[in-house]
Amino acid sequence: MTLTGRHVSYWIDSTLPSSYPTLSQNVTVDVAIVGAGLAGVTTAKLLKQAGKTVALIEADRIGVGVSGHTTAKVAALQQLIYAELIEQHGKEKAQLFGESNRAAIARLADLIAAENIDCDFERKANYTFATDADGLAKVKKEVEAAQSLGLPASFVESVDLPFPITGAIMMPDEAQFHPRKFTLAIAATLPGDGSYVFEQTRVKTVEDEGPCRVITHNGSTVTAQDVVIATNLPILDIGLYFAKTYPKRSYIVGGHIDPAQAPQGMYIGVGDNYRSIRSTPTDDGGTVLMVGGEGHKVGKDDATDERFERLESYLRSTFGVEPEYRWSTQDYISFDKLPYIGNLTPAHQHTYVATGFSLWGMAKSVLSAMVLSDRILGIHNPWADLYEATRPTPFVTSTSIQQNLEVGAHWVGDRLKGLFDSTDSVEPGVGKLVTHNGSKIAAYRDDSGQLHTVSAVCPHLGCIVAWNQAEKSWDCPCHGSRFSCEGNILHGPAVKPLEQKVCD
Ligand SMILES: Cc1cc2nc3c(=O)[nH]c(=O)nc-3n(C[C@H](O)[C@H](O)[C@H](O)COP(=O)(O)OP(=O)(O)OC[C@H]3O[C@@H](n4cnc5c(N)ncnc54)[C@H](O)[C@@H]3O)c2cc1C
Ligand code: FES
Residue 80 lies in a domain: no
Q: How far is CA 348 from the centre of its chain?
A: 25
CA distance 226 to 375: 10
Report how many domains make up the chain. 2
Range of the domain at 464: 413-491
If asked whether residues 389 and 424 sit together in one domain, one would say no
- Cα 115 to ligand 2 centroid, rounded to whole Å: 39
CATH number, domain containing residue 352 = 3.50.50.60
CA distance 188 to 190: 6
Q: Which atom of ligand 1 is nearest to the CA of 57?
A: 43
Residue among 231, 461, 473 whose CB has most ligand 2 atoms within 8 A, to mutate: 461
Distances (CA, A) of 107 to 46, 173, 355: 10, 13, 19
Does ligand 1 come within 6 angstroms of the Cβ of 252? yes
Residue 2 lies in a domain: no
If asked whether residues 238 and 366 sit together in one domain, one would say yes
Contact 50, 79 (CB under 8 A): no
Which segments of 385-494 are extended strands (E)?
430-436, 439-445, 451-455, 466-468, 473-475, 482-484, 489-491
Contact 186, 48 (CB under 8 A): no
pLDDT at residue number 411: 58
If asked whether residues 237 and 342 sit together in one domain, one would say yes
> Of 375, 399, 423, which residue sits at a domain end?
399
Residue 221 lies in a domain: yes
If asked whether residues 394 and 446 sit together in one domain, one would say no
Residue 6 lies in a domain: no
CA distance 363 to 352: 18
Q: Which atom of ligand 1 is nearest to the CA of 495?
A: 41
Burial-class residue 484 by CB neighbours within 10 Å (0-12, 13-18, 19+). middle
Closest CA to 479 of 336, 301, 299: 299
Contact 35, 294 (CB under 8 A): no
If asked whether residues 436 and 374 sit together in one domain, one would say no
Does ligand 2 come within 6 angstroms of the Cβ of 455? no
pLDDT at residue number 413: 65
Residue 270 lies in a domain: no
The secondary structure of residue 42, as a DSSP letter, is: H
- Cα 36 to ligand 1 centroid, rounded to whole Å: 9
Q: Which atom of ligand 1 is nearest to the CA of 235?
A: 41
- Cα 478 to ligand 2 centroid, rounded to whole Å: 5
Does ligand 2 come within 6 angstroms of the Cβ of 481? yes
Q: Which atom of ligand 2 is nearest to the CA of 481?
A: 1
Q: Name beta bridge partners: 341.
A: 354
- Cα 65 to ligand 1 centroid, rounded to whole Å: 5
* Amino acid of residue 386: L
If asked whether residues 237 and 379 sit together in one domain, one would say yes
CA distance 217 to 215: 7
3-state SS, one letter per residue, for 197-234: EECCCCEEEEEECCCEEEEECCCCEEEEEEEEECCCCC
- Cα 481 to ligand 2 centroid, rounded to whole Å: 6
DSSP 66-86: GGGSS--EE-SS-SS-HHHHH
Considering every ligand atom shown, identify the ligand nearest to the alpha carbon of residue 476 and give its number.
2
Contact 334, 358 (CB under 8 A): yes
CA distance 387 to 393: 12
Contact 183, 138 (CB under 8 A): no
Contact 329, 41 (CB under 8 A): no
- Cα 159 to ligand 2 centroid, rounded to whole Å: 42
pLDDT one-digit tens code per residue, 121-147 = 999 999 999 999 999 999 999 999 999
Residue 462 lies in a domain: yes
Does ligand 1 come within 6 angstroms of the Cβ of 230? yes
If asked whether residues 484 and 343 sit together in one domain, one would say no
Does ligand 1 come within 6 angstroms of the Cβ of 100? no
If asked whether residues 420 and 392 sit together in one domain, one would say no
Residue 89 lies in a domain: no
CA distance 45 to 190: 7
If asked whether residues 387 and 441 sit together in one domain, one would say no
CA distance 276 to 128: 9
If asked whether residues 395 and 422 sit together in one domain, one would say no
Does ligand 1 come within 6 angstroms of the Cβ of 72? yes
Helix (H/G/I), strand (E/B), else coil: 251: strand
If asked whether residues 224 and 341 sit together in one domain, one would say yes
Residue 61 lies in a domain: yes
Q: Per-residue confidence of the chain (504 residues) as pLDDT tens digits?
A: 688 999 999 999 999 999 999 999 999 999 999 999 999 999 999 999 999 999 999 999 999 999 999 999 999 999 999 999 999 999 999 999 999 999 999 999 999 999 999 999 999 999 999 999 999 999 999 999 999 999 999 999 999 999 999 999 999 999 999 999 999 999 999 999 999 999 999 999 999 988 999 999 999 999 999 999 999 999 999 999 999 999 999 999 999 999 999 999 999 999 989 999 999 999 999 999 999 999 999 988 767 899 999 999 999 999 999 999 999 999 999 999 999 999 999 999 999 999 999 999 999 999 999 999 999 999 999 999 999 999 987 655 666 666 666 766 665 666 666 566 678 889 999 999 998 888 899 999 999 999 999 999 999 999 999 999 989 999 999 999 999 999 999 998 999 999 999 876
Considering every ligand atom shown, identify the ligand nearest to the alpha carbon of residue 250 and give its number.
1
CA distance 299 to 445: 19
Burial-class residue 490 by CB neighbours within 10 Å (0-12, 13-18, 19+). middle
If asked whether residues 476 and 358 sit together in one domain, one would say no
3-state percent helix, strand, coil for the chain, nearest multiple of 5: 30, 30, 40
Does ligand 1 come within 6 angstroms of the Cβ of 179? no
Residue among 34, 121, 201, 362 whose CB has most ligand 1 atoms within 8 A, to mutate: 362
Residue among 9, 45, 56, 70 whose CB has most ligand 1 atoms within 8 A, to mutate: 70
- Cα 411 to ligand 2 centroid, rounded to whole Å: 9
CA distance 140 to 159: 15
